[in-house]
Structures are given as C-alpha cells and as structure tokens.
C-alpha cells in the first residue's frame, strides 16, 4: 500500500528511524510498525499540558492518514 505523505510528514517520519522507506509502497507489516512508531511519537510530543507540540501535530496528521486506510 502507498500512503501519500507531504514533504513535512516525510521529514518527520525520517526522524523516527524506520527500517524502511515510508515514501514507497509499504507492506502490511511495515504499516503496523509505522502505526506504532507514530503513536509513540505523538505521546512523546506532548507538552506539559498534554497538548501536542508542533511536531506532535505533524504526527497527528500522519496518524489521520494511517487511520483512513
């Protein structure tokens, strides 16, 4: 499956250290790895009030795309 990420989202995904390229077609297994990594990143990018930081908002956009599949 292929998910259309914009350049900002792809840059954020590169920071997650994924063992695959999220810009190409990904397998079902890679999808679940991606989903878990992004979920963890959202939690890590909460501020002291539990609101998402600017990076967290990018990961939320990514999660929205993943959830639509």
- What is the rounded average pLDDT of the residues 2-18? 96
- The number of folded domains in the chain is 1
3-state secondary structure of 52: strand
Residue 2 located in a structural domain: no
Q: Which domain holds residue 29?
A: 7-67
Residue 53 located in a structural domain: yes
pLDDT tens, position by position, 14-40: 999 999 999 999 999 999 999 999 999
CB half-sphere exposure, 58, CA atoms < 13 A: 17
Cβ pair 45, 55 in contact under 8 A: yes
Residue 39 located in a structural domain: yes
């Amino acid at each position: 499956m292929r998910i259309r990420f914009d350049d900002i989202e792809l840059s954020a995904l590169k920071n997650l250290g994924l063992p695959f390229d999220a810009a190409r077609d990904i397998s079902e297994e890679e999808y679940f790895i991606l989903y878990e990594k992004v979920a963890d990143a959202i939690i890590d990018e909460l501020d002291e009030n539990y609101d998402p930081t600017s990076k967290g908002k990018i990961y939320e956009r990514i999660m929205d795309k993943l959830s639509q599949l």
